[in-house]
Amino acid sequence: MGRLRVGVIGTGNPAQGASRMGFAMAYQHANAYAKFDNCQLVACADIKAESAETFVEKCQAPIISIYHIRQC
């Protein structure tokens, strides 16, 4: 079976600090996916582009797509 390609929607705002309800949840999921050989974190999205970019830098995953979601 091939690798499961995973994306995280809602990376959170690191400036607000980590909490179980804050940005830490996306990072916890990224750490969990990294432990499985059959998972690959390939994308992330957030309403704030800088939050998604920070997520990519901090999780050190080979993310190939970063999305900025516009609020309607």
Question: Are 38 and 5 a contacting pair, CB within 8 Å?
Answer: no
Supply the pTM of this predicted model. 0.74
Residue 37: per-residue pLDDT: 92
Was domain 4-68 assigned CATH 3.40.920.10?
Answer: no
Q: In this predicted model, what pLDDT tens digit does every residue of 43-52 receive, in sequence order?
A: 888 888 888 8
Residue 37, CA distances (Å) to 28, 32, 72 in order: 17, 11, 37
Q: In this predicted model, what pLDDT tens digit does every residue of 47-71 receive, in sequence order?
A: 888 888 888 888 887 777 777 667 6
**Whole-angstrom distance, CA of residue 5 vs CA of residue 16:** 29
